[in-house]
Amino acid sequence: MRLLFIGDADRYRVATSGSGPEGSSSLFLSATLPGISEPNACDAVIVPAEALASIPFPLAWPVFASGPARLMDEAFAFGCADYLREPWDAVELEARARARLPLTLRTAAGLLRLRGSILEGPLGTKRLRPRSAALLAMLMCNAGRPVPKTALALVLGPRSTVGRSVDMRVSRLRACLWKVGGPAVARQLRSERGASNREGAYWLSESLNDEADL
């Protein structure tokens, strides 16, 4: 497990009241976010809550926000997986991360698990391309909630803001879900249509019995 705190040592000391990461084999400090072409760079990132508005959010990895209690609601509104009230320490962070990693989703056929770019399901394993893995990670982090196409396009890159790039990528991702989990799992990747091709959303359903919108 590799956890990246996005910030310098001074900001880390503020968040943890001076406790350092030396006692943790999982926690690292990073001045910048990993690139989209680095799907295995980390398992989750920890971002100071006051910096959430300045990063290209949503990210390809689960986000743990760190800050005072007054910013908690705002952080969850961004889509953060968890919130660390300051001060916190590496032991608390790792315990929370272990409870949420790797990304998992309970499906009609069994458990779906994403480890970096490796997708594991009841029927087998599939290595995803980096952008497809990032797309699925975003959908899994927001399971049960529609993710607008505009947000998905940010993960896939600038070229995805035009045409049917997002739709085509989601179609390929649905085929991967079919391969590792069968048709019932593929149907849990749903769509919500908008007034135009650029609008609408996709989401991974947490309900196993509703009729999927394909």
What is the reported pLDDT for 211?
A: 41
The residue type at 160: S
- Model pLDDT, residue 210: 43
Can you tell me which residue has the tokens 């509104």? Answer: 77
Task: Let me know: does 202 contact 101? Beta carbons within 8 Å.
Answer: no
Domains and CATH numbers, the chain: 3-100 (3.40.50.2300), 103-204 (1.10.10.10)
Task: Enter the tokens of residue 49.
Answer: 């809550």
* Angstrom distance (rounded) from CA 95 to CA 54: 27
Render each residue's pLDDT in the chain as its tens digit; 214 residues: 788 899 888 888 889 875 555 556 678 888 888 775 565 677 788 999 998 888 776 666 788 999 999 999 888 887 788 899 999 988 888 888 877 777 788 887 888 888 777 899 999 999 988 778 878 888 887 788 888 888 888 777 655 555 588 899 999 999 999 999 999 899 999 998 764 555 789 999 875 444 433 3
Terminus-to-terminus CA distance in the chain, angstroms? Answer: 35
- Per-residue confidence (pLDDT) for residue 178, from 0 to 100: 94
Quote the strand ranges of 62-212, DSSP E.
63-67, 82-85, 103-106, 111-115, 118-121, 124-127, 147-148, 189-192, 201-204
Phi and psi torsions of 125, nearest 5°: -125, 145
Residues 100 and 80: beta-carbon distance below 8 Å: no
45-62 in b/e form (b: 16+ CB < 10 A) is bbbbbeebeebebbbbbb
**pLDDT at residue 209, rounded to an integer:** 45
* Residue 189, CA atoms < 13 Å, CB-side half-sphere: 23
Name the residue with tokens 């910096």.
51
Residue 126: what residue type?
K
Question: Which pLDDT belongs to residue 58?
Answer: 60
